[in-house]
Chain A
Amino acid sequence: MTLIRHTLYMTLRHLRELWRQPWFVAVTLIQPVIWLLLFGALFKRVIEIPGFPAHSYIAFLAPGVVVMTAMFNSAWSGMALIEDLNRGVTARFLVSPVRREALIAGRILKEAVVVVLQSVIIVLLALVVGASFPGGAAGVAALFAVSALLGATFGALSNGFALIMRQEEALIGAVQFIVLPLTFLSSTFLALNLVPRWIAHVADFNPVNWAVVAGRSATSANPDWGVVAARAGFLAALLVVCLAFATNAFRSYQRSV
């Protein structure tokens, strides 16, 4: 009970913080729109490649952009934590009875809220520009769920790194080092039957690809719920590991102060 209550307090704190930065919110919500339209136009003709498994690139791309956005957004979660470290806010919490898990979970839940909002916008826009999600509402809900799971995973990872690195420049470097390669080593932009074999193999172990595969399957005409459940399960397991990592990273921080 205490953990839930503390997590709620922290989540509200972060959402309030976000709410007070309307420009940041605006950019956060517009960014995925740009990804969708930009990449949609850029790779429009890849559906003409023999063997491409979709008839509309926007329809193919939309779940990918939802997932990519979830990761891009949440991977920066640790930046705000570093600010809190620098301002002494985290130290103040650590000498109070607040649960450490709540300090991480609050940030991650805030990211999840943002991810779902972004996802709604992307899906609506995709519908406007002609994509369809034959999997229906259940499929779209599943897509949101795996995106939120992926977002939470990267949020936890980012906060763990933040506690260990404690330096904005270092975290920026780490995030950039991880985020773009993971995006391109997945089926976000291109079907894996059209990419070099090694990339397809690597993609099997890429959490971003798990989310894309699950989201795309769930929103397709014939969802393979076995595939969706398996990928969601991998993501949930990875999330648990990353949460444990981030919570334990407080020790690294506390050793340094």
Chain B
Amino acid sequence: MERAIEAEGLEKTYPKGVKALDGLSFSVAPGSVFALLGPNGAGKSTAVKILTTLTTPDAGRASVAGLDVTGQPDEVRRTIGVVAQGSGVDIQATGRENLRLQGQIHGIRGRAVEQRADELLDRFGLSEAADRIARGYSGGMQRRLDIAMALVHDPAVLFLDEPTTGLDPEVRADMWTEIAGLAGGRGKTVLLTTHYLEEADQLADRVAIVDRGTVVAEGTPEALKRELRGDAILVDLDGDYNGAVSGALAGLGAVREVKVEGRVLRARADDGGRAVPIVLQALETHGVAVASVRVARPSLDDVYLKYTGRTFDAAEAEAEVTR
């Protein structure tokens, strides 16, 4: 089956010498939600700008719905809906006027465009505010209008560049529901960029982790997390045992990387849930008393750390400095 989005070796250096993309490649299956995950400055937005024809790559090629983004930009523009980082709402016009204009430039006219605007205003809970100037909308309302505007012409591929950045946690949760519905119920291909690990985890069928302009890892959120050498098992010991503990677990195949620091035992296991009873039994056999035990599932943050050697927070801080 043809890929909905394909990027191959994209490179882009900005005039001031900032290398935003350094051979970025990924592809997205039709009807799925794909997330580009990375800290600010990783190159996610640049990738979206190239894929949506706003700017052109220095090297590499990309296609959307089988259309070449540099060779057939007009065709691409008719096929895509875009919600850019920040906003593209004309805050001096009403919600309805914003929608109507988007519809008109996509060739929807007369009654059809009014109908489509009404439909979207209703769907995004903006009917009451439809004829108010968008300047007075809350952040969440503007974002919903943004998404509604991107959907006017019922595009096959939707680009959402940091769709929930700057929104309140509550509003963000609503937005997640909305985005999940786009691909699930309506069969659209959605490419979203985010620097929220939970967001990618929650929404995306597949995630590509982007760091310094290239994809460092790609897969389903589950697979990426599984690639980490399993779950972390943390056992709080009821007393100081040291050597005795390591000996107790030495022969077990279920766990590895066993470390004891003071009264805390750490180990890795492919499947934490299954390993815990085995570990507890081994400890009991060797007379080690246990106070409590925890299993921590790996997060995308751990994945990020594994592939980039930095924690997400450190990468964000670094991006702030270079900006």
B53 on interface, CB distance cutoff 8 Å: yes
Q: Which residue of chain B is the closest to A83 with respect to CB atoms?
A: B92
9-residue interface stretch from A50-58, A62-70, A94-102: A94-102
Determine if A88 and B78 form an interchain contact, defined as CB atoms under 8 angstroms apart: no
Determine the chain A residues whose CB is within 8 A of the CB of B32 once the complex forms. none
A255-B55, A257-B54 are known contacts. Are A91 and B88 too (CB-CB below 8 A)?
yes
B84 on interface, CB distance cutoff 8 Å: yes
A44 on interface, CB distance cutoff 8 Å: no
**CB within 8 A of A254: which of B56, B78, B88, B106?**
B56
Determine if A88 and B104 form an interchain contact, defined as CB atoms under 8 angstroms apart: no
Q: Which residue of chain A is the closest to B74 with respect to CB atoms?
A: A97
Chain A proximity mask over B95-127: 1 for CB below 8 Å, otherwise 0: 001000110111100000000000000000000
Determine the chain B residues whose CB is within 8 A of the CB of A94 once the complex forms. 53-54
**CB within 8 A of B88: which of A20, A89, A256, A257?**
A89
Q: Which residue of chain B is the closest to A99 with respect to CB atoms?
A: B105
Determine if A97 and B82 form an interchain contact, defined as CB atoms under 8 angstroms apart: no
9-residue interface stretch from A9-17, A131-139, A213-221, A222-230: A9-17
A6-B105, A17-B93, A96-B77 are known contacts. Are A254 and B54 too (CB-CB below 8 A)?
yes
Determine the chain B residues whose CB is within 8 A of the CB of A254 once the complex forms. 54-56
Determine the chain B residues whose CB is within 8 A of the CB of A255 once the complex forms. 15, 55-56
Complex Cα gap A91–B105 (Å):
14
B25 on interface, CB distance cutoff 8 Å: no
B183 on interface, CB distance cutoff 8 Å: no
User: On chain A, which size bracket covers the interface?
Assistant: 20 to 34
B226 on interface, CB distance cutoff 8 Å: no
Q: Which residue of chain A is the closest to B100 with respect to CB atoms?
A: A9
Determine if A95 and B93 form an interchain contact, defined as CB atoms under 8 angstroms apart: no
B91 on interface, CB distance cutoff 8 Å: yes
Determine the chain B residues whose CB is within 8 A of the CB of A201 once the complex forms. none
Determine the chain B residues whose CB is within 8 A of the CB of A20 once the complex forms. 92, 133
Determine if A91 and B104 form an interchain contact, defined as CB atoms under 8 angstroms apart: no
Determine if B54 and A95 form an interchain contact, defined as CB atoms under 8 angstroms apart: yes
Chain B proximity mask over A4-28: 1 for CB below 8 Å, otherwise 0: 0110010001001100100000000
A93 on interface, CB distance cutoff 8 Å: yes
Complex Cα gap A230–B202 (Å):
68
B222 on interface, CB distance cutoff 8 Å: no
**CB within 8 A of A92: which of B15, B82, B91, B93?**
B82
B90 on interface, CB distance cutoff 8 Å: yes
**CB within 8 A of B101: which of A9, A84, A88?**
A9
Determine if A257 and B49 form an interchain contact, defined as CB atoms under 8 angstroms apart: yes
Determine if B15 and A88 form an interchain contact, defined as CB atoms under 8 angstroms apart: no
Complex Cα gap A249–B148 (Å):
29
A13-B93, A16-B93, A256-B15 are known contacts. Are A92 and B56 too (CB-CB below 8 A)?
no
Min distance, Cβ A13 to any Cβ of chain B, angstroms: 6
Determine the chain A residues whose CB is within 8 A of the CB of B90 once the complex forms. 13, 84, 87, 89
Determine the chain B residues whose CB is within 8 A of the CB of A88 once the complex forms. 84-89
Determine the chain A residues whose CB is within 8 A of the CB of B88 once the complex forms. 87-89, 91-92
Chain A proximity mask over B281-308: 1 for CB below 8 Å, otherwise 0: 0000000000000000000000000000
B52 on interface, CB distance cutoff 8 Å: yes
B200 on interface, CB distance cutoff 8 Å: no
**CB within 8 A of A16: which of B49, B85, B97, B106?**
B97
Min distance, Cβ B152 to any Cβ of chain A, angstroms: 10
Determine the chain A residues whose CB is within 8 A of the CB of B52 once the complex forms. 95
Determine if B80 and A97 form an interchain contact, defined as CB atoms under 8 angstroms apart: no
Complex Cα gap A91–B89 (Å):
11
Determine the chain B residues whose CB is within 8 A of the CB of A92 once the complex forms. 82, 84, 88, 149
Determine the chain A residues whose CB is within 8 A of the CB of B15 once the complex forms. 255-256
Q: Which residue of chain A is the closest to B76 with respect to CB atoms?
A: A95
A96-B106, A97-B106 are known contacts. Are A89 and B55 too (CB-CB below 8 A)?
no
Chain A proximity mask over B54-90: 1 for CB below 8 Å, otherwise 0: 1110000000000000000010011010101111111
Determine if B102 and A96 form an interchain contact, defined as CB atoms under 8 angstroms apart: yes
Complex Cα gap A5–B84 (Å):
25
Determine if B82 and A89 form an interchain contact, defined as CB atoms under 8 angstroms apart: no
Determine if A257 and B55 form an interchain contact, defined as CB atoms under 8 angstroms apart: yes
Per the 8 Å Cβ criterion, residues 11-34 of B in contact with A are 14-15
Determine the chain B residues whose CB is within 8 A of the CB of A5 once the complex forms. 104
Complex Cα gap A79–B212 (Å):
35
Determine the chain B residues whose CB is within 8 A of the CB of A9 once the complex forms. 101, 104-105
Identify 18 new A-B residue pairs, CB closer than 8 A, beyond the known A13-B97, A97-B105, A97-B107.
Answer: A9-B101, A13-B90, A16-B93, A17-B92, A87-B89, A88-B89, A89-B89, A91-B84, A92-B82, A92-B88, A94-B53, A94-B54, A95-B52, A95-B84, A255-B55, A256-B14, A256-B15, A257-B55
| 9 A-B pairs (CB sep. < 8 Å) | A9-B104, A16-B93, A88-B87, A89-B88, A89-B89, A92-B84, A95-B53, A255-B55, A257-B54
Pick the 3 closest A-B CB pairs, nearest first. A92-B88, A98-B105, A88-B88
